[in-house]
Each structure stands twice: as C-alpha cells, then as structure tokens.
Structure 1
Amino acid sequence: MKYDTLGNSGVEVSEVGFGAWVVGTDWWGDRTREDAIEMVQHAVDRGVTFVDTGDVYGHGDSEELVGEALSEVREEVTVSTKVGYDFYNNPQAGHGELPKKVTPEWIRTALDRSLDRLDMDHVEVLMLHNANVDEVDEDVLETLDELREEGKVDAIGWALGPSIGWLAEGDAAVAEEFDVLQTVFNLFEQTPGRHFVDTIREQDADTSIVARVPHSSGLLNEQVTPETELGEGDHRAHRPTEWYETGWEKVESIRFLERDGERTMGQAAIQWLLAHDEVASVTPTFRTTDDIDEWAAAPDTPPLSDAEFERVQDLYADNFGIDRDDGMDALRSSVGGEDLKDTGMKSAGD
C-alpha cells in the first residue's frame, strides 16, 4: 500500500480506501454484521487505513459497524463521514434520494450523532453529502471552519452524487479550498473528474480528489458480464442495459492494460486513476475479502506507462470506437445545465 495526504490538511489516507456504504446497505450484495466487520478489519490488515462512511448509509448502520470494527485500531486509521440528509424524519423509499438538510445547526447535530454511532470524539474528515452549490453559503463554511478549530474534524470535503454531474459544486469546492472533493471518476466515466483535475491544476489548488466507482459499477473489474443477473435490489441495476452492452465492448478494447501475473484489469483501473497526482485515494466497492486482497495491492502493481495512459485517452476521445448511444448522455446539474455547456452532455431531466 502507498499513502497520500488530503490537500494541505496533513490528513493521511491510503491510496486505496474502504467505501463503507457497502456494509451499511444491501444495495451491492447482502452480508451479516459479522461479515461486514470482518471485511473492514481485513482491509485494515491489508494496509487500507482510509475508511469512508456516511450517516445516511443504512441510516446509521454503516457508522456503527465502522466504529465497532475500528475500535482496536482507532489511532492507526483515517475515518471520514458525511452529513447532509435528514433520514431521521424521512423513510427510505427504494434507492431514491432523501430530503437534504445543509444548515449550520444541522451539520453540528448530524456530526454529533455520527460521532455517537462511531463511538469517537472526532473524525479526520467530514464531507458535505451531495450538497447543492447554493446550499453551501458563508454560514456553512464558517461552521466547517469552527468544527476544525474545535478539534472535531481535521479536514473538510464535498462529496458529489448520486449521478455524475455536479460541476458547479466541484468547482465551488476547489474555489473554497476544501481539502477533498469526492466524485465518480473512472476510465470509462471521465466527466466530470477530468474537469476537476484541470480546475485544480489551473488554480494551483490544494484540493485532493477521492475517486469513487473506480470500476464503473462492475465493468472494469469484470464482475458484471453479459452472463450476470443483477438482483432487483442491486444498486448497479439502475444503469441502462445499453450502458452495460457498450461497456463490455469497451473492456475488450483495453485488454492491453492487463499484465499476466503482474496487473489485473481491476488493478489497472485503479492505477489509471492514481496516475493523476490530484487523486489521493480511490474507494472501490469491496464485496468480498478476495476483492480487498486484489485491489488493496493495486498501488504496488506496475503503474501505467505514458504510452498506456495516452492510448487509453485516445480511445476515450473516440468513444472506444463505438458509434451508438449508451443511455447515459445526461448529467446532474443544480444550475439548469449552465455548468455542463462545455461537456457535450445535457442536464438530467431536460
């Protein structure tokens, strides 16, 4: 494993982190509480010291599991949680988004409840969970600064989702000097991640990127193939069939990234992300301890060569030679699509 720091916060993270939403829900395979705790502990044993959870994941269940799993190694790990949804007063309806709440009072209340569930007196990272750009005003920013001064958090972040737009939010996070920006970013889905990389470079900013969904919902680790039958509650089933069909063709075009005995496709996908200096950590969705063993080892595999990286980018620019729609031509925008004009994508809902 290798390690990096988030912005200029001094907070250290493993280059492969544990995205703990998976242990708080059954949206990506079901498991017992004991299995979930074992997975987190197994990851730590493999050098994964960055654990990223959120209060809404399982309505607090993920935080409780993480707190129990890390109780014996608290000083050895970096814990991140997220706030911004009022799940206390609103039932979960399938995979739908709950009402958001981003006010100074709510951030403090939600963080205190998270710390109780984690059984911790502070977290290294606190992220705003899917906050719209107009919700993060001066009062919210001041509250985040106060929480750092009080020692409850060491670094602040802005987590973007659930779809992969949010350019206005990511640009605001960089402009406001957030330590970390979390976004969907992978070899197949480079918008808006590449945009944020460019923004950070242009502004010479210290914001670090944490890349989620690095395997493009199972394509780049080949856990979703033409033979896979996704269960009704599986979160990956929200992708249109056309998206998977084009994705399987794309995978065949990048077989050159595999190195027999040295680097798997799943590891290559992580190394492609780590080739960007701005990416401090990658949070794949671990389903099993075998996943942990493979992907935690990714930083120690051969990095992509310049030629390999450029070949990937040439393929991406040509849509991997595929001339048909994948059903994913719209991104989420909170500003009526104004932030998407230069991406070639339209605003979801238009």
Structure 2
Amino acid sequence: MQYRKLGKTGFDISEISLGTWQVGGKWGADFSHETADAILNAAVDSGINFIDTADVYGNGESEKAVGRFVKTRSERLFVATKCGRQLNPHVNQAYQPAVLRKFVEDSLTNMGLETLDLIQLHCPPTEVYYRPEIFELFDRLKDEGKILNLGISVEKVEEALKGIEYDNVTSVQIIFNVFRQRPAELFFEQAKKKDIGVIVRVPLASGLLTGKFSKNSTFTEGDHRNFNRNGEHFDKGETFSGIDYETGLSAVDELKALFPEHPNLAPIALRWILQHDAVSTVIPGASRPEQVLSNLDVFNIPALTSEQVSNINQVYQNSIKPLVHHLW
C-alpha cells in the first residue's frame, strides 16, 4: 500500500481507501454487520487506513459497524463521516447550525467515539456554501473536541471552489473518474495551492468502468443503478457518473479495445486517477471482501504511459465530454 497526505489534516492515508455506501450488501439490500466486518477486516489487513461512511448509510448501521470495528484493531485508522442528508426536504433552509450539531453528536454516539477525525457536509445544496454561519459551527465543534477536521462532499466543481474559500475546510470529496474529468482543471490546481485533501468517490462510475456490465445486466429494485438513472431520487451524477447507460457501455468498449489484456478495467481506471498528484485517496466501495482485494490490483500494474493516458482521455473527449462536462 502507498500513502499520501490528506491536505492540511496532516493524516497519511492509503491511496486506495474504503467507501462504505454499500458495506454490508448490495445497494438497497438489508445491512449485514457480519458482511461489514469481513469487508472492513479485508481492507485494513491490506493496508487501508481510511474509512469513509455517513449517517444515512444503512440508516446509521454503517457508522455503528465502522465504530465498533475500529475498536477491534490496533492500527491508527482514520474515520470520516458525513452529515446533512437526513434533512427532509433536503433544502438550503433546512441547514441550520443547531441541526447539524445534533447530527454530529448522533454520529459520535453511533460510532462510540469521542472525536471524529473528519466530518463532511454531505452534498448540501449549492446555496449552503455561501452561508458562513454553517462553516463557523464546525470551528466550535473543533474547540469542543468533537471533531478534528471539517471537509465537504460536493456534486459540482463550483461548490468545491466555493467551499475551499473557508479556512477550516481541509478536504473535498468529489466525483472524479475517466468519465468525469472536469475536476482536473481549475479545482485540482486550487486544491494543491491551498493544501486541500482530495477524496475521490465514484471512481468506477458505479461499476461501469470495470467493464463487466452489458446491455443485459440487471440491478435489484433497491439499487440506485436501477432507480436513479435520471436523478429521480438524488443527483443523477452519482449514478454511472451521470452518463446514459448505453452511451457508457459504448465508451467502455472503446477502453477495452485499448487494454485487451485487462478483462477487468478497474485497475486501469484507478491507476488513471492516482496519476493525478492532487488526489489524496480514492474510495471505491465494496459489497464483499473480494471486491476490496480486486480494487487493490491497481498496485500490480505499472504506471500508465503518456500515450495510454492520452488514448483514455481521447475516449472522454469524443464520447463523454459533450454530454456531461458542463453539468458538474
């Protein structure tokens, strides 16, 4: 495992870490603490030391599993969680300091921790980033010893750029992958300049970039890849990176032609991300331990050549960019 610094947090964290949206089962399945333990142990046994969760994952069960797990290990594990998505309706006006404080305190209770290494605003509406009182709350929580660092999880580059104007924001979690390249422009430049940690989520475009899906692939009723393709329940960019499924399959076929020796494209897609030095860590999810190990195959392949990177980027330029680049 290789490690990088998470910006001004000073944390040295694994280049490949673990996102826990689907820990315990496939998206939409009942949460299994036994499966969660197996996934978490496989991750840490492999050198992963950064775990990203949220209060809404499994209605708090993911946080409970992570909190219980870290107490069973002797390694220094960094735990990040998120707050805000419990708000219903999830609108700007619902974001209030007192409500967010309660969410943070509930997360501490769920995990049985005294202090959170990193708390992140969980993809709030764009207007929230223009409200200083929201960000000031987290200075008070830090003074009280309830958090060590504040981060933001964003949908749009605009939100990331606005969020890092606040001095207490230490990290940004953002979608970045072969099919979502806009963050590599102005945002990465500014993140490096301000020593902001960059946590990459949805690195495989909801599995599309593994190359394992086809027109005949099916997804369960509770899987967002089935019910959120057009943003019916949350930002459509979270599902297949906002790419029309059939368009994505066609672009993946182009990538497969570039790497015929790699039936599983995931290591290629992850390597492409890690070759951006602004990135601190990538947090692919896993619904079983074998997927954790599969993601770590990225360390078994050489760095991509400049020609390979150029060819990958050409697929994006020709097939994907006109459809999504301007949206996020």
2:65 and 2:8 map into 1 onto residues whose CA distance is 29
1:24 and 1:171 map into 2 onto residues whose CA distance is 34
- TM-superposed CA distance for 1:27, in Å, is 2.2
Contact 2:18 2:48 in 1 (8 A): yes
Letter in 1 for 2:108: L
- TM-superposed CA distance for 1:257, in Å, is 5.7
Contact 1:24 1:61 in 2 (8 A): no
Decide whether aligned partners of structure 1 residues 196 and 40 sit closer, same or farther in structure 2, where only a CA change above 3 A counts.
same
2:68 and 2:75 map into 1 onto residues whose CA distance is 14
Superposition map of 1:284-299 within 5 A: 284-299=284-299
Letter in 1 for 2:201: R
- TM-superposed CA distance for 1:213, in Å, is 0.8
Bigger drift between 233-242 and 128-137 goes to 233-242
TM-score, normalised relative to structure 2: 0.85
- TM-superposed CA distance for 1:126, in Å, is 0.8
Letter in 1 for 2:101: R
Residue among 105, 113, 124 paired with 1:131: 124
Question: Structure 2: where are the runs of 5+ without partners?
Answer: 231-239
SS in 2 for 1:279: coil
1:257 and 1:112 map into 2 onto residues whose CA distance is 49
Identity of aligned residues (%): 28
1:223 and 1:54 map into 2 onto residues whose CA distance is 28
2:24 and 2:154 map into 1 onto residues whose CA distance is 19
- TM-superposed CA distance for 1:138, in Å, is 2.2
1:252 and 1:196 map into 2 onto residues whose CA distance is 29
1:19-73 residue CA offsets vs partner (Å, 9 max, x unmatched): 1121267525556321122111211111111100011212211101111222212
TM-score, normalised relative to structure 1: 0.80
2:326 and 2:109 map into 1 onto residues whose CA distance is 44
Letter in 2 for 1:157: G
Letter in 1 for 2:112: D
- TM-superposed CA distance for 1:74, in Å, is 6.2
Contact 2:35 2:288 in 1 (8 A): no
1:79-137 residue CA offsets vs partner (Å, 9 max, x unmatched): 000111335xx5xxxxxx75674322222221111011101111211101112343242
Contact 1:11 1:154 in 2 (8 A): no
1:278 and 1:259 map into 2 onto residues whose CA distance is 29
Contact 2:28 2:221 in 1 (8 A): no
2:195 and 2:118 map into 1 onto residues whose CA distance is 15
SS in 1 for 2:22: helix
Specify the alignment match of 1:236 in structure 2: 225
Decide whether aligned partners of structure 1 residues 28 and 251 sit closer, same or farther in structure 2, where only a CA change above 3 A counts.
farther
1:107 and 1:53 map into 2 onto residues whose CA distance is 16
Specify the alignment match of 2:211 in structure 1: 222
Decide whether aligned partners of structure 1 residues 143 and 264 sit closer, same or farther in structure 2, where only a CA change above 3 A counts.
same
Letter in 2 for 1:243: D
Contact 2:212 2:264 in 1 (8 A): no
Contact 1:209 1:278 in 2 (8 A): yes
Contact 1:15 1:281 in 2 (8 A): yes
Give the aligned CA root-mean-square deviation in angstroms: 2.8
2:119 and 2:74 map into 1 onto residues whose CA distance is 16
Specify the alignment match of 1:157 in structure 2: 151
Specify the alignment match of 2:237 in structure 1: none
Decide whether aligned partners of structure 1 residues 149 and 185 sit closer, same or farther in structure 2, where only a CA change above 3 A counts.
same
- TM-superposed CA distance for 1:291, in Å, is 0.9
Contact 2:23 2:286 in 1 (8 A): no
1:285 and 1:207 map into 2 onto residues whose CA distance is 23
1:16 and 1:29 map into 2 onto residues whose CA distance is 25
- TM-superposed CA distance for 1:12, in Å, is 2.3
Specify the alignment match of 2:46 in structure 1: 46
Larger helix share, 1 or 2? 2
1:306-329 residue CA offsets vs partner (Å, 9 max, x unmatched): 221122222322227x9xx9xxx4
Specify the alignment match of 1:197 in structure 2: 188
Decide whether aligned partners of structure 1 residues 268 and 174 sit closer, same or farther in structure 2, where only a CA change above 3 A counts.
same
Superposition map of 1:306-317 within 5 A: 306-317=306-317
Superposition map of 1:226-305 within 5 A: 226-237=215-226, 238-239=228-229, 243-255=244-256, 258=259, 260=261, 264-305=264-305
1:190 and 1:29 map into 2 onto residues whose CA distance is 31
1:285 and 1:189 map into 2 onto residues whose CA distance is 18
SS in 2 for 1:51: strand
- TM-superposed CA distance for 1:256, in Å, is 5.8
2:43 and 2:52 map into 1 onto residues whose CA distance is 12
Bigger drift between 113-122 and 292-301 goes to 292-301
Residue among 104, 109, 115 paired with 2:102: 109
Contact 2:200 2:282 in 1 (8 A): yes
SS in 1 for 2:148: strand
Letter in 1 for 2:110: R
Question: Structure 1: where are the runs of 5+ without partners?
Answer: 91-96, 331-342
1:8 and 1:21 map into 2 onto residues whose CA distance is 25
